[in-house]
Amino acid sequence: MFGNGYMALTNPDEVFYTQTAREMVQQNTWITPYLFGAAQFEKPILTYWLLRIGFIIFGVGPFAARFFPALFGMIGVVGVYLFGILAFKDEKKSFLAAIIMCTSGLYVGLSRTVFTDMIFSVFILLSLLAFFWGYLNQKKNAGTVLFYIFAGLAVLTKGPLGLAIPLLAILIFLFREKNAKYLFCKASFWGFIAFALICLPWYIVTIKKYGMLFINEFFYNDHIRRLLEAEHKSNDTWFFYPATMIGCMFPWAFYVLGALIYLFRCLKERVNFFLFSWILTVFLTFQFAHSKLTSYIFPMFPALALVTADFIHRFTLNTEKRRAIFTITLGAVFVFAVIPAGLFWGVSNYPDYVHNRIAVYIFACFLIILAFSILFSALRRQFLRAACITALFMPLVLGFTRFIYKDTEPYMSSYAVCKYLEENYPVEGVVFASKFFARGVRLYTDREVAVADFGGKNFFSPAPIPFFSRPEDAMKFMRRQPVTYCVVKEGMAERFQRIAEEKAEFKYSLLKVIGNAYLVKMEFNGKINS
């Protein structure tokens, strides 16, 4: 939670979830998510409930919005540690798994960002932990019921995959154990009852109230359509998720790669096969869908942390295998040495983007010290110490961001440009925005918004606001109000300028550039030129 209130809520997703919860407060409802004044059903209700609770405790703001993702991040780290104790019966190995989890890049990022993925993934972790605890310790009834309870909470967070993912992982494991009948018991019946009582009432009430509107948006558009159509076409490649599995565990990426290779050699071990079934299920669930996002495979990351800790611990203790761990450690040293070089190069070549150069230089020096410390430990064959030093990378990053967030915030959030607009101009009517900024403009100005994206496509889940992909339609709309303020990207600002030059009916003014947001004023003079 350190520094979670420093930076304003970012585009496009943090403002999406936060504004939805805020509009639920304005609409005085705990049942229906709202955005742009209309019901929206991209995600189930639990995350919005948690956001509203955060608002009640802390007031509306970045820290309140990010409070529960951070809290669940903490719960997930404890869950990984407990899973390690249960599976490995080794406190050192379990502690290492927890350290790997809480210092890997994507885990830290999602712990500090308003998404559903951290909450969803922790519920899946807890459901699998409950099952495995019951299976290993002959606590079948309690473990099975808890499995269904946590799966129900996952379904209420992100949808049916909250049950499908852990259930399929368990069935693969039980099939290998030749114990597929394990779940067909009285405990499963009562567990499913608990599952239904947790997650089904909201779905039933919402379907009854909104009918096909909810079914089409939630089940078809956000589940089935994502299987068939890519929301982000550049991500729709076969290697996107394999690369994500490795890269997003940074600074543990080299260790994770070695751990996955080694995992295939020890699948005969019960614990490793369970972790393998967990990773495999998540991977196959999303690999063949055309819509791919980094956060989709996040539910496998606890398992990746566990197999990586097992790998490091085994190879450190086995003198015959220390050459492999030494090579991997050298790879980490190389990366930590390259990053400072990149920082020095960036500061010298792009000085306008960095105002606090001293902080950058200090951070780069700390990374150099970190690299030498890891190298020194590796040369002395102290590989566990090298791993613990590696874990210091993420705390250094978090400390560094405290000093440079003001440089990055204007490129990640609409807050600064919206604040400038509100404080300096009498805003009336509809504000035009690029698609990337639209939700942030709504959150920070509480104004009606229209989207201008000439030649572009509407949101994957269309929002109930005017969307203009043709300049003539946007100009026709702008004629309805004397002044239109626009928060747009550079390319769209240039399009508006050309339109004003071609059509004397509009006067174009560039008011301010903040980060990647261009604040533009389009004045209509009342005389229409053909």
Summarize pLDDT for 389-418 with one digit per residue, the tens: 999 999 999 888 888 888 888 999 999 999
d(CA 338, CA 340) in angstroms, rounded, equals 6
d(CA 268, CA 273) in angstroms, rounded, equals 7
Q: What does the DSSP assignment read for 450-500?
A: EEE-TT----SS--SS-EESSHHHHHHHHTTSSEEEEEE-HHHHHHHHHHH
Amino acid 530: pLDDT: 46
Summarize pLDDT for 137-191 with one digit per residue, the tens: 888 889 999 999 999 999 999 999 999 999 999 999 999 999 888 888 888 999 9
Summarize pLDDT for 100-119 with one digit per residue, the tens: 999 999 999 999 999 999 99
Structural tokens at position 312: 């490091």
Residues 68 and 179 sit within 8 Å (Cβ to Cβ) = no
d(CA 441, CA 463) in angstroms, rounded, equals 14
Res 252 pLDDT > 80: yes
Q: Is the peptide bond before 251 cis (omega within 30 degrees of 0)?
A: yes
Amino acid 347: pLDDT: 82
Summarize pLDDT for 40-67 with one digit per residue, the tens: 999 999 999 999 999 999 998 999 999 9
Least confident span in 116-125, 229-238, 382-391: 229-238
355 or 257: whose pLDDT is higher?
257
Beta-bridge partners for 512: 519
**Which residues contact residue 146 at a Cβ distance below 8 angstroms, ignoring those fewer than 6 apart?**
126, 127, 130, 131, 134, 191
Res 366 pLDDT > 50: yes
Average model confidence (pLDDT) across the chain: 91
